[in-house]
Amino acid sequence: MARLGLIADTHGLLRPQALVALEGCDRILHAGDVGDGALLDELAALAPVDAVRGNCDDLPGLPLERRLEVEGCRILLRHGHLPEEDPVDADVVVSGHTHVPLVRRDGPVLRVNPGSAGPRRFRLPVTVAVLELGAGGPRAAIVELDLGP
Q: Quick one: average pLDDT of 90-107?
A: 94
- Would you say residue 127 lies in a domain? yes
Residue 149 or 140, more confident: 140
In which element (H, E) is residue 43 found? helix 37-44
Q: Could you tell me the pLDDT band of residue 93, with boundaries at 50, 70 and 90? A: very high
Mean pLDDT (the chain, rounded): 93
∠ CA 133-127-131, rounded to 5°: 0
pLDDT score recorded for residue 85: 57
Task: Determine the average pLDDT of the residues in 53-64.
Answer: 94
- On the CB side of 11, CA atoms within 13 Å amount to 15
> Residue 126 region, left (φ>0) first, then alpha (ψ -120 to 50), else beta?
beta
Percent of the chain with pLDDT over 90: 85
Residue 61 belongs to a domain: yes
DSSP states along 72-133: TEEEEEESSPPPTTS--SSSEEE--SS---EEEEETTEEEEE--B-SS--TTPPBEEEEEEE
- Which pTM was predicted? 0.95
Residue 81: per-residue pLDDT: 64
CATH of the domain at 94: 3.60.21.10
The range of the structural domain enclosing residue 26 comes to: 2-144
* CA nearest to 79, candidates 50, 58, 102, 55: 55
pLDDT band at 96 (very low <50, low <70, confident <90, very high): very high
Does residue 149 belong to any structural domain of this protein? no
Q: How many domains does the chain have?
A: 1
Q: Is the pLDDT of residue 79 over 70?
A: yes
In a domain, 43, yes or no: yes
Instruction: Convert the pLDDT of each residue in 6-56 to its tens digit.
Output: 999 999 999 999 999 999 999 999 999 999 999 999 999 999 999 999 999
**pLDDT at residue 82, as a whole number:** 61
